[in-house]
């Protein structure tokens, strides 16, 4: 995968297949400490110990339509290549937590990519799932919470033209504020 936004999309799609109703995605960029971290939490079905041990094996997948499970192993390798670390915790019936850290300035760190499109795809394609996205750049934060957006929309579906326009505007303004404060 070319960038971190594609990793996020892949992992979030795994969460959705694991019947998660809540997905939390957090990116923290600490330029002073030269660290970029990515955390993804879900409340899906989780993994038993056997599946968790196999999760990073690129030749293991629980999906029926393909024989390879490259997503997690590629993210783990990307973290290690950028002088970082990768961890995964999961409990059956409780969900999964994935964490990848990277040396922010490392030449091999993948770019963030198009986080805006990834978020829009996840939200509009899965309006029934509550997604919380937090992005911290040093001491500045951007928070997107679909539960709050749904309340603001007063029953207008997130996947409607009005909903998509509202979400796009929220994301655009949030990233603009975050980068302006950089």
What SS3 state is found at 137? Answer: strand
CA 15 – CA 23 distance, rounded (Å):
7
Q: What pLDDT, on a 0 to 100 scale, did the predictor assign at position 94? A: 95
Which residues are within 8 A (CB) of 87 and not within 5 positions of it... i.e. 6 or more apart?
A: 98, 99
**pLDDT of res. 62:** 56
Would you give per-residue pLDDT tens digits along the chain (182 residues)?
A: 789 999 999 999 989 999 999 999 999 999 999 999 999 999 999 998 888 887 777 665 555 554 444 578 899 999 999 999 999 999 999 999 999 999 999 999 999 999 999 999 999 999 999 999 999 998 899 999 999 999 999 999 999 999 999 999 999 999 999 888 76
DSSP state of 20: -
Domains of the chain, start order: 4-180 (3.30.565.10)
Backbone angles phi, psi at 82, to 5 degrees: -105, 30
In degrees, rounded to 5, the angle at the alpha carbon of residue 124 between the alpha carbons of residues 123 and 126 is 65
Distance CA 56, CA 58 (A): 6
**What's the pLDDT score for residue 58?**
64
Burial bucket for residue 134 (CB in 10 Å: 0-12, 13-18, 19+): middle
Q: What does the block give as tokens for 121?
A: 């795809």
Contact 167, 153 (CB under 8 A): no
Query: The pTM is what?
Result: 0.91
Provide the pLDDT for residue 70.
Answer: 59
On the 0-12 / 13-18 / 19+ scale of CB atoms within 10 A, 139 is exposed
- Structure token digits, residue 156: 């207008």
């Amino acid at each position: 995968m070319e960038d971190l936004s594609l990793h996020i999309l892949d992992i979030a799609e795994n969460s959705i297949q694991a019947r998660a109703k809540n997905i939390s995605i957090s990116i923290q960029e600490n330029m002073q400490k030269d660290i970029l971290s990515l955390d993804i939490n879900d409340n899906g079905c989780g993994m038993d110990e056997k599946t968790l041990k196999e999760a990073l094996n690129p030749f293991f997948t629980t999906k029926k339509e393909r024989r390879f499970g490259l997503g997690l192993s590629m993210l783990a390798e990307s973290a290690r290549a950028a002088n970082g670390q990768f961890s995964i915790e999961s409990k059956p019936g409780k969900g999964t937590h994935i964490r990848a850290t990277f040396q922010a300035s490392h030449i091999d760190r993948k770019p963030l990519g198009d986080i805006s499109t990834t978020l829009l795809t996840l939200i509009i394609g899965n309006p029934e799932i509550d997604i919380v996205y937090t992005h911290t750049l040093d001491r500045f934060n951007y928070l997107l919470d679909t539960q709050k957006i749904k309340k603001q929309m007063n029953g207008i579906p997130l996947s409607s033209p009005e909903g998509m326009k509202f979400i796009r505007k929220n994301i655009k303004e949030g990233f603009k504020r975050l980068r302006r404060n950089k």
